[in-house]
Amino acid sequence: MTRFLVTGASGLLGINLCLQLSAENEVIGVVHQQKLVKTPFTVVEADLSDAKIPLNWIEDLKPDVIIHCAAMANIDACEKDPEKAKQINTDLPEMLAFLSHKNGIQLIHVSTDAVFDGAKGDYREEDQPNPLGVYAQTKLAGEQAVLAANADALIARVNFYGCSVTGSRSLSEFFIYNLLANQEMMGFTDVFFCPLLVNDLVDVLLKMVNLRLHGLYHTVSSECLNKYEFGRRIANLFNFNADLIKPVKVSESDLVAVRSPNLSMSTEKLANALGNPLPDQQAGLDRLKKLYDQGYPQRIRLFSG
Ligand SMILES: NC(=O)c1ccc[n+]([C@@H]2O[C@H](COP(=O)([O-])OP(=O)(O)OC[C@H]3O[C@@H](n4cnc5c(N)ncnc54)[C@H](OP(=O)(O)O)[C@@H]3O)[C@@H](O)[C@H]2O)c1
């Protein structure tokens, strides 16, 4: 049985990862402010903005694999508190990379498509990043620190959606719950991305762990689209009124932080390593619909404490 330490276990990725992993493995999930109850895995509460905290744990817990999902992921909060963003998004992964290298632990560090400025699109792993805001800058610095401290670490640049414990952590939840409430909402027509369903992302990450991949991989859907189109596809799939989603340019919105316009990324390197293409949007959304039909969103929210 493999022992996994997962940070950010209460987050959108972390909870889905821990639930799937715990079916066959020993899992210790780290949370901060969001309490979890009745989980089929062990939960530890800690504020990891002090990067020294994992020092003791790693020696005590001796995990075989660390999957580092915790981050200060709110873009506007990062702009307001750049020092805290650096502590969580840069210093913490650096510490985990140092400790995993020292103790022979496999490390998967989760990063972001936002390391690119979005001017070009179709980004490959060898393209030069140019992060636009504090979140992206601190995440890129985190990637660089991880690879400098542990050349065997795997870095997955991701973008994903799905079901969270709060019901409000993902873009699909934003669209579904506004559509359900018959509420008008904005859909950005000038922001392109390649989101994977989080459950597909979990499957892919676990294959990457088994293959012991290391280095940088773009871990997103093989198909990219704009956020307005993503919302419309969800509305149509769930038989909601797609006209509630109003096409808007992000440049005309009141968001504080700069957004990268075209974060489409090539998944060729990862598809070659896996031996199969990454799921496209239809595959992800069909699986999302099936999960809703099976009551998965309600089940996952029962873990919220
Ligand atoms: N969602 C996306 O589409 C997307 C896109 C690009 C990259 N990413 C990356 O993917 C990873 C997972 O993202 P996510 O969407 O799952 O994030 P999320 O839902 O915002 O969750 C963030 C997690 O980090 C934890 N955390 C935050 N500050 C902490 C602290 N001081 N100490 C300990 N834990 C702390 C949170 O704990 P509490 O909730 O318990 O406070 C939560 O479990 C992150 O590295 C993010 O940068 C996500």
Owning domain of residue 62: 3-170+194-224+265-283+296-301
Provide the token pair at 156.
Answer: 């997955």
Mean confidence (pLDDT) of the chain: 95
pLDDT category, 50, cuts 50, 70, 90? confident
Residue 114 lies inside a defined structural domain of this protein: yes
Q: How many A from CA of 248 to the centre of ligand 1? A: 27
Q: How many A from CA of 96 to the centre of ligand 1? A: 16
Residue 166 lies inside a defined structural domain of this protein: yes
Query: pLDDT of 208-251, one tens digit each?
Result: 999 999 999 999 999 999 999 999 999 999 999 999 999 999 87
pLDDT category, 280, cuts 50, 70, 90? very high
- Dump the DSSP string for 226-274: EHHHHHHHHHHHTT--GGGEEEE-GGGS--SS---SB--B--HHHHHHH
Number of domains within the chain? 1
Query: pLDDT of 137-186, one tens digit each?
Result: 999 999 999 999 999 999 999 999 999 999 999 999 999 999 999 999 99
Residue 243 lies inside a defined structural domain of this protein: no
Pocket test for ligand 1, best of 20, 78, 84, 112 (most atoms within 8 A of CB): 112
* In the predicted structure, residue 55 carries a pLDDT above the cut 90: no
Q: 31: Cβ below 6 Å to ligand 1?
A: yes
What pLDDT does 255 receive? 66
What pLDDT does 58 receive? 86
Residue 157 lies inside a defined structural domain of this protein: yes
Q: How many A from CA of 243 to the centre of ligand 1? A: 31
What pLDDT does 256 receive? 55
- Taking a C-beta distance cutoff of 8 angstroms, is the pair 12, 300 a contact? no
Q: 17: Cβ below 6 Å to ligand 1?
A: no
Closest ligand 1 atom, residue 70 Cα: 24
Q: 70: Cβ below 6 Å to ligand 1?
A: yes
* In the predicted structure, residue 93 carries a pLDDT above the cut 60: yes
- Residue 304 DSSP label: B
Pocket test for ligand 1, best of 10, 74, 166 (most atoms within 8 A of CB): 10
Residue closest to 299 by CA, chosen among 43, 44, 20, 2: 20
Residue closest to 147 by CA, chosen among 129, 168, 171: 129
Strands, E assignment, the chain: 3-7, 26-31, 42-45, 65-68, 106-112, 154-158, 160-161, 185-188, 192-193, 196-197, 215-219, 225-226, 245-248
- Taking a C-beta distance cutoff of 8 angstroms, is the pair 83, 49 a contact? no
Residue 186 lies inside a defined structural domain of this protein: no
What pLDDT does 81 receive? 97
Q: 34: Cβ below 6 Å to ligand 1?
A: yes
What pLDDT does 258 receive? 64
What pLDDT does 57 receive? 81
Residue 124 lies inside a defined structural domain of this protein: yes
Tell me the percentage of the chain whose pLDDT exceeds 90: 91
- Looking at the DSSP assignment, which residues form a beta bridge with residue 111? 157
Domain CATH number, residue 87: 3.40.50.720
Closest ligand 1 atom, residue 10 Cα: 43
Pocket test for ligand 1, best of 20, 158, 202 (most atoms within 8 A of CB): 158
Q: How many A from CA of 166 to the centre of ligand 1? A: 13
Provide the token pair at 38.
Answer: 């009745």
Residue 51 lies inside a defined structural domain of this protein: yes
Q: How many A from CA of 70 to the centre of ligand 1? A: 4
* In the predicted structure, residue 76 carries a pLDDT above the cut 80: yes
Residue 57 lies inside a defined structural domain of this protein: yes
Pocket test for ligand 1, best of 5, 13, 92 (most atoms within 8 A of CB): 13
Parallel, antiparallel, or unpaired: how do β-strands 3-7 and 42-45 relate? unpaired
pLDDT category, 51, cuts 50, 70, 90? confident
Query: pLDDT of 249-262, one tens digit each?
Result: 987 777 655 667 89
Residue closest to 145 by CA, chosen among 59, 68, 204: 68
Interatomic CA distance for residues 240 and 77, integer angstroms: 32
